[in-house]
Amino acid sequence: MSETARQRLREWGAETAVVLGSGLSALVENKDAEDRIAYAEFAELPRPTVPGHAGEFVLRELNGKRILFAQGRVHLYEGQPARAVAAGIRVLAEAGIARVILTNAAGNANPDFAPRTWMMIRDHLNLTGASPLLGTPEFVDLTDAYSAAWRNTFVQAARTIGLILHEGIYAGLPGPQYETPAEVRMLRVLGADAIGMSTVLETIQARALGLEVAGFSCLTNWAAGLSGEHLRHDEVLAAGKASAEDFARLLAAAL
């Protein structure tokens, strides 16, 4: 079963994949079932257990280009090891993908960025205490983890469509609890502009496989202590869904 599904991904012939984070599945909703391949078809892929992560590959064309969307991901906080968290990236690479766009829903730690806007990831802080490369002698240079050339393409695309696109540092933590106000202040001192529970392990795996990477955070809410609001996952999902259309416009303009 796994090999048949893998062959379908290969035959689609996409060079670009997009991994959709919490609430961002709206980009590919209400489409034909024939264009979907469940993660369950791949023996090595763990199934997401979190609302907002459907767990399937979606085959789509965008501006005449074939794209592979990975609708959802698994996280460390679901009890998965780092290598399993990045398994989807390995499947995409085997399918012939040359570059991957990683998206996530994140808490906004930068007071100059407004919630419900998008931040392009310039660099990251891996504070998960894990790596998908553990157990291997892979010494991967992450100086340019997020492609500078590709970032420039997205900057120009955002200007063309009049979309506010911030650029900053993403801090990846294991979760599942949200950060305390004290932890958010610490992360700001370390340079974090956005805080989330995904993406960094996928970036490490993608760069180890030679894939070009771009990363985007949907700033769904203020991080703890920056407003009087308490954090709830259902509100994160709603904010991500509301912002999905803006990201779809950005993708279309850039690709």
Catalytic residue among 54, 70, 87, 105: 105
53 carries an active-site annotation: yes
Q: Is the pLDDT of residue 53 over 70?
A: no
Residue from 5, 14, 17, 22 carrying the catalytic annotation = 22
Phi, psi of 75 (to 5 degrees): -130, 160
Catalytic residue among 38, 40, 77, 147, which? 77
pLDDT category of residue 52 using cuts at 50, 70 and 90: low
Domain of residue 95: give its range: 2-254
pLDDT in tens, 57-92: 999 998 888 999 999 899 999 999 999 999 999 999
Distance CA 108, CA 217 (A): 9
* Active-site residue identified among 14, 106, 197, 239: 197
Residue 98 DSSP label: -
**What pLDDT score was predicted for residue 99?**
97
**β-pair type (117-126, 99-108):** unpaired
Catalytic residue among 25, 75, 178, 192: 75
The per-residue pLDDT for 235 is: 66
What local confidence, expressed as pLDDT, does residue 64 receive?
A: 86
- Res 7 pLDDT > 60: yes
Question: Is 25 among the catalytic positions?
Answer: no
CA dist., res. 35 & res. 33, Å (int)? 5
- In this predicted structure, what is the pLDDT of residue 62? 86
Give me the pLDDT at residue 31, please: 59
- Residues 182-201, buried b or exposed e (16+ Cβ, 10 A)? ebbeebbeeebbbbbbbbbb
**Crossing angle for the helix pair 2-12 and 87-94, nearest 10 degrees?**
60
How many structural domains comprise the chain?
1
Q: Is 124 a catalytic residue?
A: no
**What are the tens digits of pLDDT across the range 95-109?**
999 999 999 999 999
**Position 128, amino acid:** T
pLDDT of residue 255: 86
What pLDDT is stored for residue 33 in this prediction? 55
Quick one: CA torsion of 243, 247, 249, 252, rounded to 10 degrees?
-160
Q: Which residues of 202-240 are buried (b: 16+ CB within 10 A; e: fewer)?
A: bbbbbbbbebbbbbbbbbbbbbbebeeeebebeebbebb
Is residue 216 a contact partner of residue 119, using CB atoms and an 8 Å limit? yes
179 included as an active-site residue: no
Find, among 8, 193, 172, the residue nearest to 76 by Cα.
172
Evaluate if residue 47 carries a pLDDT over 70. yes
Residue 77 a catalytic site member: yes
Rounded to whole angstroms, the Cα distance separating 158 from 152 reads 10
Catalytic residue chosen out of the listed positions 25, 131, 198, 243:
198
Q: CATH number of the domain at 239, please.
A: 3.40.50.1580
Among residues 233, 235, 238, 248, the one annotated as catalytic is 233
Q: What is the mean pLDDT of residues 19-39?
A: 76
pLDDT reported for residue 214: 98
Q: What is the mean pLDDT of residues 122-143?
A: 95
- Look at residue 1 and tell me whether its pLDDT is greater than 60: no
Give the count of beta carbons closer than 10 Å to the beta carbon of residue 59. Answer: 21
Catalytic residue among 14, 56, 78, 178: 78
Q: In the 8-state DSSP scheme, what is residue 55?
A: -
What is the overall mean pLDDT for the chain? 90
**Predicted local confidence at residue 225, as pLDDT:** 77
Residue range 39-61: mean pLDDT, rounded: 85
The answer on pLDDT for 30 being more than 70 is: no
Tell me the pTM.
0.92
- Write out pLDDT tens, residues 190-243: 999 999 999 999 999 999 999 999 999 999 888 887 776 775 666 666 666 667
pLDDT recorded at residue 83: 96
Q: Is 95 a catalytic residue?
A: no
Determine whether 39 is an active site residue: no
Catalytic residue among 54, 221, 223, 239: 221
- pLDDT number for residue 240: 63
The pLDDT > 70 percentage for the chain reads 89
